[in-house]
């Protein structure tokens, strides 16, 4: 039986901050956000949400904040100095937040500053993924544990977007001090719990540019109905025998591996996964809608799901108590917004929008206000939510539940 993490974590949740938080408190958050031309997108919902959380927690204890940005080797793998500037703008002036660059993180000078922290004082440490240890968890050799243990008085794991990874900065917390599950994480765990308990009345709309792991999708689709858009939608249509035209077929093959095609074929055979029935295409500068049966004669590039797909999906999704939207359904960055129109049609109580680090779509079109004003939820956990939805475990949370034995 899949563990109900929300129920299990209630005894370890932040319900009385005055007695639970002690200076200095180590807080792991996730402010990993899109980077364009070397600059972070400051209006991202993820960094705004965590700014509010840090504002609240810092009223009760001085905070040492650990976070990451990007992955080594990727263009968005940058220091957190820009994030510090963004947080400084978002936090009230009464709160003092300072930045510790990589070369000063694990130093005696920083340790001294941490020990002197008081309420309304925050230290943001540099990108934790710049340290090799982060992705090589070993409690017996951990510099992270050695540096913080005996200095930190309490810990908060509020980094639910990375819970599916056994990385040092989340795994080490219970080894350092009493660890609590963060406020944002409990909010999203509650949504996950409700979906898992009512899976037969749920549906998931999967978009984006990649296919989730086959074992995840098999588990999820065995519980609820699935709809697709983006590249997954094209992939499912393709393995069901539809010719999407030479340019789209070629593009799909360049983006999806042989394993993806085989996985999609298995899913299409085993489950009744819905795919778009029409597409918005860009053909020689002209934008038009093409039915899936006519795509073989079209040389245009698929940019979005079509309006008929929006109507068909909306009609079927309105019958579901919970509707999960995961990933863009079209190239929203260039104004193709049928995914936004679908979201409006299925808005209301029970809509769960998984933003991950791609919340730019909902901010761009004002969907955040619509979703929250009509009883829906915005979850920043992205892939970690999908991980939990598939019934997989969260290693760092399992340690919190066992921390008295560590």
* 1 pLDDT higher than 60: no
| 112 and 48 in a common domain | yes
Q: What's residue 43's pLDDT?
A: 82
φ and ψ at 121, to 5 degrees? -125, 135
pLDDT band at 359 (very low <50, low <70, confident <90, very high): low
| pLDDT confidence band for 356 (50 / 70 / 90) | low
Please report the pLDDT score of residue 212 as a whole number.
Answer: 81
Residue 62 has pLDDT above 60, yes or no: yes
Name residue, tokens 């959380």: 53
What are the structure tokens assigned to 29, written together? 């958050």
Beta bridge partners of 379: 354
123 and 222 share a domain? Answer: no
Mean pLDDT of the chain: 94
Question: Are the CB atoms for 25 and 64 separated by under 8 Å?
Answer: yes
Is residue 158 located within the same domain as residue 246? no
pLDDT of residue 355: 79
Q: How far apart are CA 264 and CA 232, in angstroms?
A: 8
**Confidence class of residue 244 from pLDDT cuts 50, 70 and 90?**
very high
Same structural domain, 368 and 398: no
Cβ atoms of 147 and 111 within 8 Å: the answer is yes
Q: Crossing angle of helices 81-90/45-57, nearest 10°? A: 70
**Out of 13-27, 334-348, 355-369, least confident range:** 355-369
Residue 383 DSSP code? H
With 0-12 / 13-18 / 19 or more C-beta atoms within 10 angstroms meaning exposed / middle / buried, residue 369 is exposed
pTM for the whole structure:
0.93
Statement to judge: residues 212 and 167 lie in one domain: no
Identify the CATH number of the domain in which residue 180 sits: 3.40.50.1260
Average pLDDT over residues 105-111: 98
CA atoms within 13 A on the CB side of 9: 30
pLDDT tens digits along 291-350: 999 999 999 999 999 999 999 999 999 999 999 999 899 998 899 999 999 999 999 999
Give the residue among 404, 361, 400 at the shortest CA–CA distance from 3: 400
Q: What is the mean pLDDT of residues 71-75?
A: 95
Identify the pLDDT of residue 340: 92
The total number of structural domains in the chain stands at 2
- Two tokens, residue 236: 């499912």
Q: What percent of the chain has pLDDT over 90?
A: 85
The arithmetic mean of pLDDT across residues 41-52, rounded, is: 91
154 confidence band (pLDDT: 50, 70, 90): very high
Per-residue pLDDT at 235:
95
The two tokens of residue 66 are 């650990």
In this structure, are 179 and 197 located in the same domain? no
What confidence score (pLDDT) does residue 348 get?
94
354 and 399 belong to one structural domain: no
- The two beta strands, 351-354 and 377-379, are parallel
Judge if 231 and 297 occupy the same domain.
Answer: yes
Whether 23 has a pLDDT exceeding 70, the answer reads: yes
Same domain, 61 and 178: yes
Task: Indicate if 226 and 96 belong to the same structural domain.
Answer: no
Q: Which of 37-51, 75-89, 231-245, 361-375 has the lowest mean pLDDT?
A: 361-375
Residue 122 confidence (pLDDT): 98
Which pLDDT value is given to residue 110? 98
Identify the band that residue 44 occupies on the pLDDT scale cut at 50, 70 and 90. Answer: confident
Q: 53 with 165, same domain? A: yes
- Domain span at residue 375? 189-389
Burial class (CB in 10 A: 0-12, 13-18, 19+), 306: buried
3-state secondary structure 323-381: EEEECCCCCHHHCCCHHHHHHHHCCCCCEEEECCCCCHHHHHCCHHHHHHHCCCEEECC
What does the pLDDT look like over 252-266, one tens digit per residue?
A: 999 999 998 999 999
Query: 126 and 44, same structural domain?
Result: yes
Residue 404's pLDDT is what? Answer: 73
- Decide which of 360 and 323 is more confident: 323
- Enter the tokens of residue 68: 């990451």
In whole angstroms, what is the distance from residue 65 CA to residue 125 CA?
Answer: 6
């Amino acid at each position: 039986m899949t563990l109900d993490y929300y129920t299990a974590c209630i005894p370890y949740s932040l319900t009385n901050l005055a007695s639970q938080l002690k200076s200095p408190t180590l807080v792991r958050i996730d402010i990993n956000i899109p980077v364009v031309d070397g600059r972070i997108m400051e209006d991202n919902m993820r960094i705004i949400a965590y700014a509010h959380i840090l504002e609240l927690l810092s009223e009760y204890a001085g905070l040492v904040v650990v976070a990451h940005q990007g992955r080594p080797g990727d263009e968005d793998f940058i220091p957190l100095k820009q994030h510090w500037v963004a947080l400084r703008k978002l936090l009230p002036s009464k709160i003092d937040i300072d930045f510790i660059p990589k070369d000063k993180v694990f130093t005696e000078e920083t340790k001294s500053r941490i020990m002197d922290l008081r309420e309304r004082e925050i230290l943001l440490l540099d990108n934790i993924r710049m340290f090799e240890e982060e992705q090589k968890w070993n409690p017996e050799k951990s510099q992270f544990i050695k540096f913080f243990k005996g200095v930190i008085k309490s810990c908060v794991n509020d980094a639910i977007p990375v819970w599916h990874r056994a990385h040092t900065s989340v795994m080490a917390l219970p080894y350092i001090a009493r660890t609590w599950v963060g406020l944002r994480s409990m909010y999203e765990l509650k949504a996950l719990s409700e979906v898992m308990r009512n899976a037969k009345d749920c549906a998931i709309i999967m978009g984006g540019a990649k296919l989730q792991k086959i074992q995840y999708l098999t588990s999820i689709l065995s519980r609820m109905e699935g709809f697709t858009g983006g590249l997954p939608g094209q992939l499912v249509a393709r393995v069901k025998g539809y010719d999407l035209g030479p340019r789209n077929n070629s593009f799909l093959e360049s983006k999806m591996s042989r394993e993806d095609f085989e996985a999609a074929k298995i899913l299409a055979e085993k489950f009744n996964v819905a795919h778009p029935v029409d597409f918005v295409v860009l053909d020689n500068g002209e934008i038009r809608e093409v039915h899936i049966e006519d795509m073989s004669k079209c040389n245009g590039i698929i940019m979005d799901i079509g309006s008929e797909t929006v109507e068909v999906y909306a009609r079927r999704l309105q019958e579901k108590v919970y509707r999960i939207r995961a990933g863009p359904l079209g190239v929203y960055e260039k104004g193709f917004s049928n995914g936004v129109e679908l979201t409006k049609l299925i808005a209301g109580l029970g809509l769960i929008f998984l933003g991950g680090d791609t919340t730019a779509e909902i901010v761009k079109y004002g969907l955040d206000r619509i979703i929250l004003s009509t009883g829906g939820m915005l979850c920043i956990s992205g892939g970690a939510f999908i991980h939990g939805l598939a019934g997989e475990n969260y290693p760092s949370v399992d340690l919190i539940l066992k921390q008295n034995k560590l």
